[in-house]
Chain A
Amino acid sequence: MLEWISQPWHWSVSGAAIAAVMFLLLYAGKEFGVSSNLRTMCTIAGAGRKYDFFRIDWRAQRWNLTFVAGSVLGGFLAFYVLPSSEPVTVSAETVTYLQSVGLSAPGAGELHSSFVPGELFAVDQLFTLRTLLVVILGGFLVGFGARWAGGCTSGHAISGLSNLQLPSLIAVVGFFIGGLFMSWVLLPFILQL
């Protein structure tokens, strides 16, 4: 059993588990949405004193901050306590592409994790231009875009589409417009920097 849950899961098992997370939260009287926590963190840092968007009762969001703390812990357990014996297996086409842009394939680099490329996420890469763009610009766009759109993957793609909300479908179309443009047009350029 432990052996089975330690290995990468089939997509159908993973998808069912994500739906289960959404229903567990609904049953607890809450709504699945991770990016709201970024707003709460701004409120805790005092942003509400000047900007009314952050004038919310952060105590009502403590459950969500606890959820996020759990997801850090879950990541730790899944990676260090019940690790998978194999690196992430992406398709052969993706590996070929990675090599063509000078990134190591999953597990082939020196990083302790096969989930992300060391060329972008190893600490000693921090002051390269491409890592700064990935980390600083990428993070900024996620945080700004999620709040403008009123939700991220969990709030729109999972919760919103499950509830057949048209706004969430528009948001997901936006996710793909942006994601495709980045992956096909901007990323190849950024990786050369």
Chain B
Amino acid sequence: MRFLVYLFIGTFFGFVMTKSEAISWYRILEMFRFESFHMYGIIGTAVVLGAIGVALAKRFGWTASDGQALKLNPKNFSVPRYLYGGTLFGLGWALTGACPGPMFTLLGQGIWLIGLVILSATVGTFSYGVVRHRLPH
């Protein structure tokens, strides 16, 4: 029963990704070329509303539906992993025009080559798991 809730939220997410056009390779190119405000508007609105909501949740002690604290786990501070990992991610994001969420959404739209992108991304994650001890974090 609870899984229906996640299925529903995920379906809403896929719908939003499509109607926002954030799944579009063209929109990502346009964003990195600074030729439209569209993607900055989407991310900016989400972050501003998100930050306001999170601040209110902390101020008033809002909890999750089960009474537990909200899962806002702060990440450990360091620079290399976020900067290097983020840069590799950005190279891939601008090349495929898709970050992980949109990859799955595009799969539902008959863009079959995206299936190979997902497979490669999984291999990329696996490779990270293999060599991570040798990488700076």
Q: Are A140 and B124 within 8 A (Cβ)? A: yes
Separation of A161 and B45 alpha carbons in the complex (Å): 12
Give the secondary structure class of A's interface.
helix
Separation of A52 and B107 alpha carbons in the complex (Å): 30
Q: Are B82 and A149 within 8 A (Cβ)? A: yes
10 CB-based A-B contacts, threshold 8 Å:
A7-B19, A26-B70, A54-B129, A69-B7, A70-B8, A74-B12, A74-B16, A113-B111, A164-B51, A184-B32
The number of chain A residues touching the other chain, given as a range, is 35 or more
Separation of A25 and B11 alpha carbons in the complex (Å): 13
Q: Which residues of B contact A7 (CB under 8 A)?
A: 19
Q: Are A91 and B36 within 8 A (Cβ)? A: yes
Q: Which residues of B contact A41 (CB under 8 A)?
A: 122, 125
Q: Which residues of A contact B93 (CB under 8 A)?
A: 142, 153, 175, 178-179, 182
Q: Which residues of A contact B43 (CB under 8 A)?
A: 15, 153, 157-158
Top 8 closest pairs, chain A to chain B, by CB:
A174-B86, A70-B10, A74-B14, A178-B90, A15-B45, A143-B124, A139-B120, A141-B92
Q: Which residues of A contact B120 (CB under 8 A)?
A: 135-140, 143
Q: Which of B4-62 contact A (CB under 8 A)?
A: 5-33, 35-39, 41-51, 53-54, 57
Closest to B51 in A: A162
Q: Which residues of A contact B82 (CB under 8 A)?
A: 149-150, 156, 167-168, 170-171, 174
Q: Are A115 and B92 within 8 A (Cβ)? A: no
Q: Are A121 and B17 within 8 A (Cβ)? A: no
Separation of A114 and B84 alpha carbons in the complex (Å): 33
Closest to B112 in A: A123
Other A-B contacts than A143-B126, A148-B89, 17 sampled, CB-CB below 8 A, are A35-B121, A69-B7, A72-B105, A73-B7, A74-B10, A77-B11, A78-B14, A138-B96, A142-B117, A144-B128, A145-B89, A147-B85, A148-B81, A159-B50, A168-B82, A175-B90, A183-B33
Q: Are B91 and A51 within 8 A (Cβ)? A: no
Closest to A31 in B: B71
Q: Are B90 and A75 within 8 A (Cβ)? A: no
Q: Are A116 and B14 within 8 A (Cβ)? A: no
- B85 to chain A minimum Cβ distance, whole angstroms, is 3
A38 CB contact (under 8 Å) in B48, B57, B122: B122
Q: Which residues of B contact A180 (CB under 8 A)?
A: 32, 90, 94
B92 CB contact (under 8 Å) in A76, A122, A178: A178
Separation of A173 and B83 alpha carbons in the complex (Å): 7
Q: Are A93 and B9 within 8 A (Cβ)? A: no
Q: A47-B126, A172-B86 are in contact. Are A139 and B96 (CB under 8 A)?
A: yes
- B59 to chain A minimum Cβ distance, whole angstroms, is 13
